[in-house]
Structure 1
Amino acid sequence: MRKGFILAVIFTFFLLTGTSYASDVDSLMDLLLKKGIITQKEHKELKAEIREEVKKEGKKVTGEGSYATKRSDRISIGGAVAGEYRWVKHSNMTTKDSDSTSDLYLRTVELSLEAELADWITTAITVNSEWIGDDVTPGDEKLTVDEAAITLRKEGVPLYLIAGKRTQPFGVFESHLVTDPMTQDAYETKRTGVTLGYQRPFMDLDASVTVYKGEEMMTHLFESGLFDSDSISRVSDPAGYDVGSYILNVSITPIAEHLRLSAAYLSEPGNGKRNNTLSLSATYNCLFIDGLSIDAAYITALQREEYRDATVLADNYKERVLSLGAAYRVTEPVEVALRYEHFDDDGLAKETGAWSVENRYSIGGTYTFYENEDLCVSSYLALEYRKTDYRLSEAVKASMGDDNSELYMRLGMEF
């Protein structure tokens, strides 16, 4: 009885002081023996029993199902590092027969964190730095917040809410190559916004409405490099200072795991007229040829603001982009891909005496030379050859080349 009481007192002391003080228990036992409170036999037996209890409690503290384990299960960290080599046949397309150029740079450094605060609250944060050491698109080597959003979504509840900075749901930008497709170059809309969505199991239906501030998509279009943006200019609209931009998006999966269809409508304020754009896309994983995937995207301007050229009011050109891609996994680590893209400038180059991209052809492949699915780590080498044909007005034909070739090599790691 006395030994049980002493054991309870000592074990309570151990719990209150914490596991980091386990070595102090031996000192306490020695002190009790020295004072004659316990005998030599009790000293030996108690130490053995306490060590056994400590082992059991340690398993409870650090074992499966503990708070620490549950917390770590709710937080995941990932990232990516990719370096690139680029060779371009003509360094300056505005000068015919200009010399070639090449660059070696760090394309991206990225860290991401996802946390599940509850079964219906998640947050995702991504910081990155891009184009480090590139002379064409120089980066500043500083990490910036690329995406940060909070999602409220509960299983069994059809409605969900996403708030924060992210790539908003306009367009599907599939790519199995090193470079991004034209559709992403021109229409990716990464902006802080709020999305209210509705999901149903039937055909994996997902419909949403998103609101955000500004003219992000139009700014991206003018920075895309698909046309001579110096030939026309935009007039900022005061409505752009309010939360007046929105996206309507819907997607379904008619054939589970094989066919995904998406449509989106985007509207932003503009000079005199709103800039309204429609996106249609399809992704197909072939039913009959294992490893083959095909994607198609078509984005068209439905209405455009009134542009200005150097002297007078220019037409509101309604551009269109078509992107068709295919990829085939030859073996588990090897995939080959090709892509065709067309940009229709609605007469912009001809009427403004400038240039625009007309057709683009890409072919390449990826070799994943290391992959550990348990650790979610992979390393790969990717190669792409890209040829671009330009649409030239009579004013620039004599001085500008009508096509260019590029070669890209990327060494990357994802974790």
Structure 2
Amino acid sequence: MKARTIKAVLLGMATVVWLCLTGMLSAAGAEESTEPQAGGVTSIEDRIEHLEQAIGRTVEGDRWYDRLQISGLIEVEAGYGKIDFEDPAEADEKTSDVDLATVELDVDVKIVDHVDGHVLFKYEEDDVFMDEGFITLTGTEAFPAYLIAGRQYIPFGNFDSHFVTDPTTLVLGETNEGAVVAGYRFGGEMVHIAAGVFNGGAQETGDDDVIDSFVASVAVNPLEGLTFGASYNSNLAGSDSFNEAVVDPDNLDSLVGGWSAYVSYAFLERFKIIAEYVGALDSFRAGEIYDPGETKERDLSAWNIELGAMIIDRLELAVRYGGSDDGGNDFLSETQYGIVVNWGFFENTNLALEYLHDEYEDDFQEVETLTAQLAIEF
């Protein structure tokens, strides 16, 4: 699709959001706003918030079960997809399905003051596995430091989203590894820094299988509703999804680092803007990713921009525009845009309806997807 057409579609979707808001705000009047109900994406910010709530809770009683906090998530999805290939010799494809998409069981346990444990079991794609498992050591109010040791999502990127489907930034950068991460907060919640080490899922030719990767991040919250940050990962090829697109992860010419920058701004009690960029700091050599027969180097990057608005209490409308450079013909879409409606019709219950359109490098394929997701949290 041409850039002019894309801009027209985005402008049209943004206009719909604005017109709906203009018409509904006056009707809503002084009605209190509700936090937007997100789709299926869990951002780093959400994970930190959950961890802080678990650590900060009060234990009532000395029995072992008084120290436990159990929560979870169930997501059921129905979807329809259509793939149009540019090559006329390749038949187009249509798919549809309804299934249990995700189940999460989250167990947090307070051992003593300043010592907590966390385990997250997950069902996804017909597999049951431990997604997270770590021990947290925390400081005092006077010294707000912490240390997290174990399997965790390293503090690279933020990946916030209103949508059910992961943004391109998450697909490129999200990394779950065994790691040790230390952090500190300045000025209350104003500045948050973190750094850690881990054994990445990719390495240079001839290197031993050792801890040789590190991550660092900073997040700033100067005003209520406004957060921005940046992060660095020394081993981008070790990220969860991207690692599968690397031809031989154990024999890279050199480790390529990645960087991320994001901003999230909630304003007027009903709007939220999300923008994020993730990119490689150097080129991957020809043939290292996607196809060993490639003859050109790859400079990967991905971005995602979203605008969400609470139309009325518990009803959110959001639009997305994202994409990538050098994302290949089936890994990261070159252009992605769409719209989602989130309706929290009961407490801790959300229905999401999502439409996405993806276009890939060299016009290899265009993909349209419709997804309905029913999710509950407990």
For Structure 1 versus Structure 2, the TM-score category normalised by the shorter chain is: 0.7 to 0.9
Instruction: Give how far 1:336 is off.
Output: 1.2
CA distance in structure 1 between the aligned counterparts of 2:307 and 2:66, rounded to whole angstroms:
36
SS in structure 2 at match of 1:330: strand
Q: In the alignment, does 2:130 pair up with 1:145?
A: yes
- When residues 356 and 259 of structure 1 are mapped into structure 2, their CA distance, relative to the original with a 3 A threshold, is closer
Q: In the alignment, does 2:265 pair up with 1:263?
A: no
Counterpart of 2:369?
Answer: 406
1:244 to 212, 231, 234: 212
- When residues 165 and 251 of structure 1 are mapped into structure 2, their CA distance, relative to the original with a 3 A threshold, is same
Instruction: Give how far 1:98 is off.
Output: 1.4
Instruction: Give how far 1:330 is off.
Output: 1.9
Q: In the alignment, does 2:340 pair up with 1:336?
A: no
Q: In the alignment, does 2:221 pair up with 1:253?
A: yes
CA distance in structure 2 between the aligned counterparts of 1:312 and 1:100, rounded to whole angstroms:
30
Q: How does 1:182-193 map to 2 (within 5 A)?
A: 182-193=168-179
Counterpart of 2:282?
Answer: 303
Counterpart of 1:171?
Answer: 157
Counterpart of 1:361?
Answer: 337
Instruction: Give how far 1:276 is off.
Output: 0.9
SS in structure 2 at match of 1:186: helix
CA deviations on 1:300-351 (whole Å, 9 max, x unpaired) are 11114424276767443111111001211222221111111021118x66xx
Aligned residues: 302
- When residues 367 and 242 of structure 1 are mapped into structure 2, their CA distance, relative to the original with a 3 A threshold, is same
Counterpart of 2:349?
Answer: 379
Identify, as 1 or 2, the structure richer in helix: 1
CA deviations on 1:6-34 (whole Å, 9 max, x unpaired) are xxxxxxxxxxxxxxxxxxxxxxxxxxxxx
Q: In the alignment, does 2:124 pair up with 1:125?
A: no
2:62 to 60, 67, 72: 67
* Structure 1 residue ranges without an equivalent (≥5): 1-63, 132-138, 217-234, 372-377
CA distance in structure 2 between the aligned counterparts of 1:290 and 1:259, rounded to whole angstroms:
12
Q: Is the 8 A contact 1:215 1:240 kept in 2?
A: no
Instruction: Percent identity, please.
Output: 27
Counterpart of 1:181?
Answer: 167
Instruction: State TM-score, norm by structure 1.
Output: 0.67
- When residues 239 and 314 of structure 1 are mapped into structure 2, their CA distance, relative to the original with a 3 A threshold, is farther
> What code does the residue aligned with 1:242 have?
V
CA deviations on 1:223-248 (whole Å, 9 max, x unpaired) are xxxxxxxxxxxx96333611001101
- When residues 259 and 65 of structure 1 are mapped into structure 2, their CA distance, relative to the original with a 3 A threshold, is closer
- When residues 328 and 272 of structure 1 are mapped into structure 2, their CA distance, relative to the original with a 3 A threshold, is same
CA distance in structure 2 between the aligned counterparts of 1:204 and 1:77, rounded to whole angstroms:
29
- When residues 93 and 187 of structure 1 are mapped into structure 2, their CA distance, relative to the original with a 3 A threshold, is farther
> What code does the residue aligned with 1:261 have?
F
Counterpart of 2:140?
Answer: 155
Across the aligned residues of Structure 1 and Structure 2, the Cα RMSD in angstroms comes to 2.6
Moved more, 328-337 or 318-327: 328-337
Counterpart of 1:283?
Answer: 264
Instruction: Give how far 1:77 is off.
Output: 0.3
Q: Is the 8 A contact 1:298 1:323 kept in 2?
A: yes
CA distance in structure 2 between the aligned counterparts of 1:314 and 1:341, rounded to whole angstroms:
27
CA distance in structure 1 between the aligned counterparts of 2:69 and 2:357, rounded to whole angstroms:
39
Q: In the alignment, does 2:352 pair up with 1:389?
A: no
Higher relative contact order, chain-length normalized (CA < 8 Å, sep 6+): 2
CA distance in structure 1 between the aligned counterparts of 2:332 and 2:182, rounded to whole angstroms:
37
Instruction: Give how far 1:203 is off.
Output: 5.6
- When residues 324 and 387 of structure 1 are mapped into structure 2, their CA distance, relative to the original with a 3 A threshold, is same
Q: In the alignment, does 2:303 pair up with 1:322?
A: yes
CA deviations on 1:361-393 (whole Å, 9 max, x unpaired) are 12011111211xxxxxx222111000011222x
> What code does the residue aligned with 1:254 have?
P
Counterpart of 1:293?
Answer: 272
Instruction: Give how far 1:261 is off.
Output: 1.0
Instruction: State TM-score, norm by structure 2.
Output: 0.73
Q: Is the 8 A contact 1:147 1:165 kept in 2?
A: yes
Q: Is the 8 A contact 2:134 2:150 kept in 1?
A: yes
